[in-house]
Amino acid sequence: MLEVIDTHAHLDALENLEPALTKAREAGVVAIVAVGSNHQTNQKVIGIGDSHPGLIHPALGLHPWELGNLDSNGINLTLKFIEEKISQTVAVGEIGLDYDKRVLKIAPKELQKETLKCLLALARQYNKPISIHSRYAWKDTFELVKEAGIEKAVFHWFTGFSGVLKDILEAGYIISATPAAEYHEEHRRAIKETPPDKLLLETDCPVTYGRENKYRSQPADIIRSLKAAAALKGIDESTMAQQTTDNAIKFFRLD
Ligand SMILES: [Zn+2]
């Protein structure tokens, strides 16, 4: 049986978590990294991790989309909680930059960068890997991560330019593949250009995927990420599962 790890899932946002976890186990999911986006979801992620030891591994973060809802007190409270709970986490995430114009309207670049720098400093201080969002901000995100002296970073659902991808891989960082690997051209190109030992699988659930047939994802959909990535790399699914699972165990220091 295949063993796969969903390395980036918003489990707090699933309506029916337990049935989704049962389905995931049946599909071969042996571990899930549950990422938080703000103070409230970070608290939930810790709770979900506590009630599923061995299966669910928390990561705490502050997503750039959340910054429009926060003043500096809100940001500080979130950072403080992440630091308090950091020994219970496998990573800092989801964090990053997003230069989509709808996001910039509520969270200007400078605010995003300043916040990210604080989060990166935490990750660096406690020697944690990071799970990073970089939509339309690939170069700035990479540069901040590198400048912060981060040792391990996964650029999740990477869709950026080949030049930045090259820098990411040369710096020892990695990327992860979502179910969008079935159809999204930029994401498919990034996966093709990444060696299998620098690749993780994820769902980013409950994101809605699909072009004609849209569906709301859950961790069991990691099999779509696996199949699509294996096809793109021209290797069989079991080899891809083994490789990406080994990568994830090493990256997040899962035991
Ligand atoms: Zn996410």
My answer on whether omega of the bond before 196 falls inside 30° of 0, hence cis, is no
* Of 10, 6, 4, 98, the residue nearest 61 (C-alpha): 10
pLDDT recorded at residue 83: 98
pLDDT recorded at residue 152: 98
The kind and range of the H/E element at 77 are helix 72-84
pLDDT recorded at residue 114: 98
CA of 65 to the centre of ligand 1 (A): 11
* Of 50, 49, 118, 112, the residue nearest 78 (C-alpha): 118
The kind and range of the H/E element at 167 are helix 162-170
pLDDT recorded at residue 37: 98
CA of 240 to the centre of ligand 1 (A): 22
pLDDT recorded at residue 1: 82
CA of 148 to the centre of ligand 1 (A): 22
Question: Tell me: the pLDDT tens digits for 211-242?
Answer: 989 999 999 999 999 999 999 999 999 999 99
CA of 227 to the centre of ligand 1 (A): 20
pLDDT recorded at residue 230: 98
Question: Tell me: the pLDDT tens digits for 93-135?
Answer: 999 999 999 999 999 999 999 999 999 999 999 999 999 999 9
CA of 34 to the centre of ligand 1 (A): 9
- Which residues have their alpha-adjacent CB atom under 5 A from ion ligand 1? 94, 204
CA of 237 to the centre of ligand 1 (A): 24
Q: Which residues of the chain have pLDDT under 70?
A: none
In whole angstroms, give the CA distance from residue 156 to residue 175: 5
CA of 232 to the centre of ligand 1 (A): 23
